[in-house]
Amino acid sequence: MNMMMKPPVLQDMHVIDADTHVTEVHDLWTSRASPSYRDRVPQVKTVNGELAWYIDGDKRMGPAQTSCCIKKDGVKTFGMELTKMKINEIFEGAYDVPSRLAYMDSAGISAQIAYPNLLGFGNQKSMGVDPELRLVTTQIFNDASAELQQASGGRVFPMALLPWWNIEQSVAEAERCYKMGFRGINLNPDPQNQGYPVLGDTHWNPLWELCSDYALPVNFHIGGGMENTDWYGSGGWPTDNPRLKMAFGSSQMPVTNYRVLSNILLSRFLERFPKLKIVSVESGVTWIPFMLESLEYQMQDQGIKYEVPLFELFQRQIYACTWFDKRLLPEAARVLGIDNILYETDFPHPTCVYPDPMKFISDVASQFAPEERRKVFGQNAAKLYNIPLENLDR
Poorest-pLDDT segment among 198-202, 230-234, 287-291, 375-379:
230-234
Res. 235: pLDDT tops 50: yes
Tell me the pLDDT tens digit for each residue of 281-294: 999 999 999 999 99
**For residue 234, what pLDDT is reported?**
64
**For residue 239, what pLDDT is reported?**
80
Let me know if residue 113 belongs to a domain.
yes
Q: What is the average pLDDT across 137-144?
A: 98
CB-CB contact of 69 with 76 (8 Å): yes
**For residue 372, what pLDDT is reported?**
98
Tell me the pLDDT tens digit for each residue of 280-326: 999 999 999 999 999 999 999 999 888 899 999 999 999 999 999 99
Q: Band of the pLDDT at 230, cuts 50, 70, 90?
A: low
Q: What is the average pLDDT across 198-221?
A: 98
Domain containing 156 equals: 8-25+92-393
> Average pLDDT, whole number, for the chain?
94
Let me know if residue 159 belongs to a domain.
yes
Tell me the pLDDT tens digit for each residue of 10-60: 998 999 999 999 999 999 999 999 999 999 999 999 999 999 999 999 999
Q: What is the average pLDDT across 51-79?
A: 96
Work out how many domains the chain is built from and give that number.
Answer: 1
Q: What is the average pLDDT across 215-234?
A: 75
Q: 289-307 as b/e, with b when 16 or more CB fall inside 10 Å? A: bebbeebeeebeeeeeebe
Q: What is the average pLDDT across 325-347?
A: 97
Let me know if residue 382 belongs to a domain.
yes
Let me know if residue 66 belongs to a domain.
no
Res. 1: pLDDT tops 50: no
249 vs 342 pLDDT, higher one = 342
Let me know if residue 77 belongs to a domain.
no
Q: Band of the pLDDT at 73, cuts 50, 70, 90?
A: very high
Q: What is the average pLDDT across 134-151?
A: 98
**For residue 240, what pLDDT is reported?**
80
Q: Count other Cβ atoms within 10 Å, centred on residue 272.
A: 15
Let me know if residue 340 belongs to a domain.
yes
**For residue 351, what pLDDT is reported?**
92
Q: What is the average pLDDT across 120-133?
A: 94
The CATH number assigned to the domain holding 327 equals 3.20.20.140
Q: What is the average pLDDT across 165-172?
A: 98
**For residue 4, what pLDDT is reported?**
77
* 3-class DSSP string for 113-143: EEECCCCCCCCCCCCCCCHHHHHHHHHHHHH
**For residue 394, what pLDDT is reported?**
67
Exposed, middle or buried by CB within 10 Å (0-12, 13-18, 19+), for 124?
buried
371 vs 254 pLDDT, higher one = 371
**For residue 228, what pLDDT is reported?**
46
DSSP assignment string, 229-267: -HHHHSSS-TT--HHHHHHHHHHHTTHHHHHHHHHHHHH
Let me know if residue 140 belongs to a domain.
yes
Strand 43-47 relative to strand 50-55: parallel, antiparallel, unpaired? antiparallel
**Residue % of the chain over a pLDDT of 90:** 86
**For residue 256, what pLDDT is reported?**
85
Let me know if residue 332 belongs to a domain.
yes
Query: Could you give the CA distance from residue 347 to residue 148 in angstroms, rounded to a whole number?
Result: 16
Backbone angles phi, psi at 18, to 5 degrees: -90, 5
